[in-house]
Structure 1
Amino acid sequence: MKINILAIESSCDETSASVISDGKILNNIVATQSVHEKYGGVVPELASRAHQQHLVPVIQEAIKTSGLDKKELSAVAFTRGPGLMGSLLVGVSFAKAFAYSLGIPMIEVNHMEAHILAHFIDHPAPLFPFICLTVSGGHTQLVLVKSHLEMEVIGETLDDAVGEAFDKTAKLMGLPYPGGPMIDKFALNGDPKAYSFPLSDMPDLNYSFSGIKTAVLYFLRDRLKENATFIDDNKNDICASVQYTLIKMLMQKLKKAAKIHRINEIAIAGGVSANLGLRAELEKLSSELGWKVYIPSFEYCTDNAAMIAMAAHFKFLNQEFCGLDISPLAKMKIGK
C-alpha cells in the first residue's frame, strides 16, 4: 500500500499544499500573498487572514492534481514552527480537522528541517553527513546533518538573519518588497568592491548581521546629505557591495565549519539560497576546495509545502506521529 501524504505550509506569507506518494512529490501548489507589498514587509495579522482565504482552494487543487482521492491519504503533515503564530495556527487547525475527519494520523514538521530535506526531492541528493547553510529572512544557521531525522545546529546568527539584512538594505534604498531579490537583481550589474562595509567576526561558527545593517544605514544617510540622488545614481554598485559583504560573511564561517568537521558535502537551503550571487560563490568554492555542492531548484528554496511533504515522508517511515492536542510553536529549534 502506498504512503500518500498531504502536506500544508503556512508559516509566514506563503499558503502552500503538496501531495507526496511513496517519496515522490506529485505537486506543489503555492498561493503568494500580495497584500504585504504596500507595507514593505509581512504584516502578521494580514498574513493569517490571507491563509484563511487561500488554504481551502490550495488544498483542493493539491488533492485534485495529485490524481488521488482524499480517502487514499495515509497522513496529514503540517508546519508546526518556527513562524508567525497566527499563520501557523491556521495551518495546524485545518490539519487537525482534516486528519480527524478522515481518521488518519498527523505529522508535525519543523520548517527549517524541511528546508534542509528539500534536497531529497530531486537527485542527486547530498550524502550523510553533510553541512547545510540555512539562510532566510528569519534564520541563518549552519547545520550538521547526520541523517534524514538527525540534525545539529553548529552555528547560527546571534541577532539578525542574513535575509533581514538584505531586506533592510532594500527598504533603506527605497526598493519594492520583497527586497532581497531586488538587491540580487541590481547587484548583477554592479561593482562588488565599489564600497566597503564591515565584516563582523563572531566567535566560533556564529554570525551577526546587525552591524552591517547599521553601517548601511549610516552610509546611505551620509551620502544622501552630499547628493540627494546618490542611491539612484549608484544603485547597482551599492547592491553589489552589500551583497558581496553578506556573502563573504556567510562563506567565512561555512569554510571554517567544513574544515573543522572535515566534510566536503555542502548544501544550502532557505529563501536566500535562491540568491544568484550566493549560488555563484558556492560553485566557485566547489572548484577551489573540492566541495560537492547541492543547491535546490528555485521552486524549493522559498517556503513551499513540497519540502514539508518530504520531511513528513521520512517521519512517516519512522512512525513519528502527533496527537490532536498539538499546538503551533512560533520558536522551534532544529534537532529539538
Structure 2
Amino acid sequence: MYPSLLSAVVIITLAGSGLCDTPSTNTLNIETIHHFSTNISLENLVVRRTGEIIVGFDNFPTIYQIEPEINGTATYIHTFEGYVDIHGMVEVTPDQFMVTTGNLSLVTHIDVPGSCSVWHVNMTGFPEHLEVKKVADFADSRILNGMALLDEEKGLVYVADSRVGVVNILNVNTGEHFVAINNSLTNQPPGDCQRYLYFSNFAQGIIGRVPIDENGLPEGDAEVVVSGLNTPEDFVLDKAGNIFLALFESNEVIRIDGETKEITVLAGSPDSSTYKWASAVEFGRRRSDKSDLYFAINGGFLEPDNVGGALFRIPLGDLTVV
C-alpha cells in the first residue's frame, strides 16, 4: 500500500525466537461480517468489550461500528475533519479509545510531515452520545500507525511512526509524548521471562521485538522473531505466543506457531482477490467469539480488481490459546 516501516506494535511477556518454515494450509469456514463498497479501504480494527468491531478507513478520516454477526450492520461513528486517513486505534480503558489521524494520500502515497494527531473517542454513551477530543499533535510525525496499551493506570500508550521508524510513548491524560524506542535490529537475543514490545516491519518483511522495562523503555537490543514475510501488516498474539498476521500484498491471513515458527495460511492466497490486501486482525471479546479471529481487508483500493474494504471472521477452534 505504501512504503511504511513499522505497521503494528503489540506488548507481551514471552521468550523464544526463530525463522519461519514453509507455509501450510488449513481449511476453515470464513464468514463475511460486512462488505463496504469499492470506494472504501479498511486499515485497522479494534473490538469493543461488548463485542462490536470498530473499523477505521485509510482513504477517509472516518470510523464505523460493525455488529459482529454474519452480514452485520455498519453504523457511522465519526469523521475527523481536516485529515485524510486513520491508521491506529487502541482501547485504553473500557470504551475509551485512542485514534490516530494523518494526511497520507492512498493515490500518491505522499504524506504531510508533522500533520498527525491522536484523538480520544469516548464510546460510553454511543450511539445516543459520543465525545471526541484531541489528545495531542505530533509535530515531527509522518505516519502514526500501530498503537498498543503500555500502562492503563498511568494512561500510557505506544504509538509507532511508520516512516520515521520510531515508537513514541504518549500520555493520554496530559498529551505529552516522546520517542521511546529508536534502535536497529541485531541478532543478540535477550534473556527469558522478559516483557517485550513486538512490531511488524512492512518494508523489511519481519516481525521483531525489543525488551522493555517497567516504564516501557528499551532495556536491550531489538531482534528478529520471524523473517521472510511478504509485507506484514497488523498482527495479534495469543496466550501461547502464536502470531496471527495480515500479509498485505499476499492477500493472506496467516498463523505463525510460537515455538516452531511454522506458518499456516488461514485465509487467502497471492493470486486471489477475495481477501485483497489484508490489513488488520483482532480476536473477538465475547464469550461466544473469543476464539475467533476478525480480519479486515483494504480491498485493493484503486486496483483493477478492487473488491472493496470488508470485515471477515475465522472461527479458529484449537488453533489459538485464549
Scaled by the length of structure 1, the TM-score of the pair is: 0.27
Question: Which of the pair is proportionally richer in strand?
Answer: 2
State the TM-score, normalized to the length of structure 2. Answer: 0.28
Higher relative contact order (Cα pairs below 8 Å, separated by 6+ residues): 1
* Larger fraction in helix: 1
